Copies of this chain bind each other. A is one copy, B any other.
Amino acid sequence: MHILPNGEFDLIDIISEMFADISINNVEGIGDDCAIINSDGDVIAISTDMLVEDVHFIKNATSAHDLGAKALLVNLSDIAAMGLKPQFSLLSISIPKVCRGEWIVEFMRGYHSVSKQFGVMLIGGDTTGSKDKITINVVAIGRGNSANVKKRGDAKIGDRIFVSGVLGQSAAGLKDILNNEYNTPNAMIHKKPTPTTKQGVWLGKRAYVNAMMDISDGVASDLKHILKKSNVAAKIEITNIPNVTTIEDAVCGGEDYKLLFTVDPKHSEEIKTKFKEMFNSDLYEIGEIIESENSEITWMQNNIEINPNWSGFRHF
């Protein structure tokens, strides 16, 4: 095999194919926000994310405390995206000598603040040195009832497509940070995203919510995972996408960590009302699941089809 993987998803395809010969009953592996281990109606959901200095964060542009908080928050988002409650985490971190004093203690305080806020117990990890860069790997583990698990592959034709909040703030914040403006409202959101843990658990309990995932690479990229897994296509009305800056930030920007999900159309008004009552914030209906085998997104602007060249954000 002489494949030259040039993006994360190509590599994941290679890995999925290579490891397809090792499977265990009642366990779902690669392909969703979390792996799922089933056991008598209960499930354990496990997710992991690696954060690399100068790829995912710039050390001097964020405080150690904020970085520690974010490292856990983004993983809690993956558990929420399956409709489950996070309960445990493991943290591995490699740090250069310069970080071994107050920096790592502040990092751990930030990690602890989020752990405490969400009642997530730190059950293990690894600490080691590095030559000059910081690498962080967090594992989040959720438990819950198997009936509440939401997967990418369960979107149905006719489903309405929703996002759980305004998009593009994190991408706009990253631009501010790269312009040395570290404390704008969007920069703060980029550094410390608001988790959707409670919303995810609430949505997990609604039987009329079909597919769900979190938005980490932008709707343009992430929605395609739902479409491919569900063997359907989508039509999106971009004027309905809630954004604070540009449509490109909202559609292609990374690290929003809002929820993207599909809802049985009979319940699309009901869920908006109930969500508003529960969380005092809006759900946004941005489009519809349609029939098609090509898993493509048709982008509409005021009901007229447009053909933008949008792809998602890539860390790889």
| A→B interface (CB under 8 Å) | 1-6, 8, 11-12, 14-15, 18-19, 21-24, 27-30, 34-35, 37, 39, 42, 44, 46-50, 52-56, 87-88, 90, 92-94, 100-102, 104-105, 108-109, 112, 115-116, 119-131, 133, 135, 137, 139, 141, 315-316
Contact = CB atoms under 8 A, between A and B. Distances in A.
10 contacts: A4-B100, A15-B127, A18-B112, A22-B119, A22-B122, A27-B121, A35-B124, A46-B123, A48-B137, A130-B133
A102 B34 CA distance: 27
Contact of A52 (B18, B88, B94, B109): B94
Contacts of A126: 48-50, 137
Contact of A123 (B30, B88, B128): B30
A121 B5 CA distance: 22
A125 B49 CA distance: 7
- Chain copies in complex: 2
A124 B15 CA distance: 10
A46 B90 contact: yes
Nearest to A56: B128
Contact of A115 (B22, B49, B55): B22
* 8 tightest Cβ-Cβ pairs between the two chains A and B: A35-B123, A137-B137, A29-B123, A50-B92, A135-B135, A35-B124, A4-B101, A50-B126
Contact of A315 (B5, B6, B48, B128): B128
Nearest to A9: B127
Nearest to A106: B1
B1 A135 contact: no
Nearest to A45: B124
Contacts of A100: 4-6, 11
B128 A48 contact: no
A129 B315 contact: yes
A23 to B, nearest CB: 6
Contact of A121 (B11, B15, B29): B29
